[in-house]
Chain A
């Protein structure tokens, strides 16, 4: 079967490299074609990589608390680049401080994200969701 292509990376000025590598490894093991952009990835780089590789979904990580600012506008850039309705997932430590996750999730969904994950989410959850979203049996 044709493998589904995912773009992964840590957005913004965030340099947390370890989790990114583990996530890319786990997603590859799960049968995805992973294009991992590494750390300090700008929104433009996510979009460009998705266009060039005809990606099926974008998986954004953010660990340093500035995720909300960094992620805002990514959906609009995808629309502009012709990546219509591409699934976008985000996870990590998306915001600073002890905030109720339900509120954070609401704000990210409003920004155009398909799925949002709180800190400590296991990768199996993401894999299960991705398979559902991309209709992989």
Chain B
């Protein structure tokens, strides 16, 4: 049995050829994604170069995932920022969406216009526990109905308001799905039904809308969003199969041109004594996506959040040179820095910074409080300080000579001690960029996918 996994990315279409009998990856190849004409053109071109590496390669089954056309663009609406808004964002991110923005409370006219501008594929509408607040979700359903865009709405809020929301969205002529509340009881999450609804809508509507119908016609299995495939691979690698054990808890970071994804596979239980856990419970397998952290399209945003003078001193280039490079990258996002050049050094320093920012936003925060009983700590989010592995996926991490230097940005330092970042992880990388392919393969042959990952994900 031979499989071909295709990942239609926003820039590249990546192919991975897998031989089940030999239990390994035969080769990988890529070509530019051709979403504007026919995605299969780019696919065929990549297949050609794959066949140049593996002669007479024929596949028995094609597996596809996609983040082409901007990925699965979503906005999430909730009531209280720390509660249902956060839960909605978590549900969308864990379904593999690019969550462009999260809103809380009744949205304003300004925010309505913003959603119009974002033009999302799906809007996830949440708010209120079951039997709790109804007014906000009902108002927001009406306000979403006024936005003249073709997005679909998934309602996963207070069940007691579902009937009203349904009537409003129906009148507004919106395509919508009603599913279970993401927070049925205060501080208890149930995000799976919303995730399933997102996946089903993606398959039903978005695949065709993003010009992927031709790819879907060739594959017997459903096309899923790429981050969802990566998430499935992560889950398999951590937990293993009933027959083979996984590698246990880890963190993976995928640093792309426009966004940075962080995956943590850990319960994130507090590692210190005398810690009070606060805030929403988080899933074992958690994904966050940072739309403002990336090495090309969003490099300017990373630069904004960086002390450029300090960075210049550290890597021995001038601040002027750093700023010029940021400007060039923003203008021509397909620019690549040459190995060993000053520009590469700048890229690596920014990658380190982007990883630091993405991980501090992903992990839990420890706060100190003084009580009459003495000092006490509160933990909000996951404690990842004991994570055993930190895996780098994608882009600059696998193309640079200094992957460990960049990944170390995501680790605990005395300056960021409030964040529960890994302290002494083993650094690993996905050199061939196979995570998404293995996520797809895990649906067909999990044993094979796990074994290949164990071979290919190597320690630095």
Binding site for B on A (CB under 8 A): 2, 5, 13-15, 33, 35, 39-40, 48-49, 51-54, 64-66
Partner of B276, one of A2, A35, A39, A51: A39
Question: In the bound complex, do residue B372 and residue A53 qualify as a contact, i.e. CB atoms below 8 Å apart?
Answer: no
Cβ–Cβ < 8 Å partners of B278 in chain A: 40
Report yes or no: B371 in contact with A52, Cβ–Cβ below 8 A. Answer: no
Q: B369: which of A13, A53, A64 is its contact (CB, 8 Å)?
A: A13
Q: B283 to nearest A CB, angstroms?
A: 20
Q: Are B276 and A40 in contact (CB under 8 A)?
A: yes
Contact A54 B132 (CB under 8 A): yes
Other A-B pairs, 8, CB within 8 Å; known A15-B373, A15-B376, A53-B131: A5-B132, A13-B370, A40-B376, A52-B84, A52-B132, A54-B132, A54-B134, A64-B371
Q: B355-396, CB under 8 A of A: which get 1 and which 0?
A: 000000000000001111100101000000000000000000
Cross-interface CB contact of B133 among A33, A40, A52, A64, cutoff 8 Å: A52
B425 CB to nearest chain A CB (Å): 31
Q: Is the CB of A64 within 8 A of B132?
A: no
Q: How far is the CA of A36 from the CA of B84 in the complex (A)?
A: 17
Which of A5, A35, A53, A66 has the most CB atoms of chain B within a 10 A radius of its CB? A53
Measured between C-beta atoms, what is the minimum distance from A81 to chain B in Å?
9
B284 at interface, CB cutoff 8 A: no
A35 touches B371 (CB 8 A): no
When C-beta atoms are compared, the residue in chain A nearest to B128 turns out to be: A52
Interface residue total, chain B, C-beta cutoff 8 A: 23
Q: What residue in chain B is nearest A55 (Cβ atoms)?
A: B132
| Complex-state Cα separation, A48 to B276, whole angstroms | 19
Q: Which of B83, B127, B134, B378 contacts A40 (CB 8 A)?
A: B378
Q: Does B183 contact A (CB under 8 A)?
A: yes
**Residue B118 lies at the interface, judged by CB distance under 8 Å to chain A:** no
**Nearest-CB residue, chain B, relative to A36:** B186
Q: Is the CB of B276 within 8 A of A64?
A: no
- Which B residues are in CB contact (< 8 Å) with A49? 83, 186
Please, what's the 1-or-0 string for B233-271, where 1 marks a CB less than 8 Å from any CB in chain A?
A: 000000000000000000000000000000000000000
User: Given known contacts A15-B373, A51-B80, is B133 in contact with A5 (CB within 8 Å)?
Assistant: no
List 29 contacting pairs A-B, 8 Å CB cutoff, sorted by A.
Answer: A5-B131, A5-B132, A13-B369, A13-B376, A15-B373, A15-B376, A35-B186, A40-B369, A40-B376, A48-B82, A49-B186, A51-B79, A51-B133, A52-B83, A52-B84, A52-B128, A52-B132, A52-B133, A52-B186, A53-B128, A53-B131, A53-B132, A53-B133, A53-B186, A54-B131, A54-B133, A64-B371, A64-B372, A66-B372
For residue B442, CB closer than 8 A to chain A, the reply is no
Q: Do A53 and B129 touch across chains, with their CB atoms under 8 A apart? A: yes
Chain B residues with CB under 8 Å of chain A are 79-80, 82-84, 127-129, 131-134, 183, 186, 276, 278, 369-373, 376, 378
B183: A residues at CB distance < 8 A: 52
A97 CB to nearest B CB, Å: 14
Q: Which residues of B have CB within 8 Å of A33? A: 131
- Rounded to whole angstroms, the CA-CA distance of A65 and B132 in the bound complex is 33
In this complex, which of A33, A35, A51, A65 has the most chain B Cβ atoms within 10 angstroms of its Cβ?
A: A51
Q: Judge whether A65 and B372 touch: CB under 8 Å.
A: yes
Nearest-CB residue, chain A, relative to B129:
A53
Per the bound structure, the CA–CA distance linking A64 and B84 in Å amounts to 32
| B83–chain A nearest beta-carbon distance, Å | 5
B-chain residues with CB within 8 Å of residue A52 when the two chains form the complex: 79-80, 83-84, 127-129, 132-133, 183, 186
When C-beta atoms are compared, the residue in chain B nearest to A49 turns out to be B186
Report the Cα distance A53→B134, complex, angstroms.
9
| A17 to chain B: closest residue by CB | B276
A51 to B136, CA, bound (A): 10
A2: chain B residues within 8 A (beta carbon): 131
Give bound CA distance, A48 to B79, whole Å.
9
Q: How far is the CB of A10 from chain B (nearest CB, A)?
A: 11
B276's nearest neighbour on chain A, judged by CB, is A40
- Nearest first, the 7 A-B pairs at minimum CB distance are A53-B132, A13-B371, A54-B133, A54-B132, A35-B186, A48-B80, A53-B129
- The complex places the Cα of A65 from the Cα of B371 at a distance, in Å, of 11
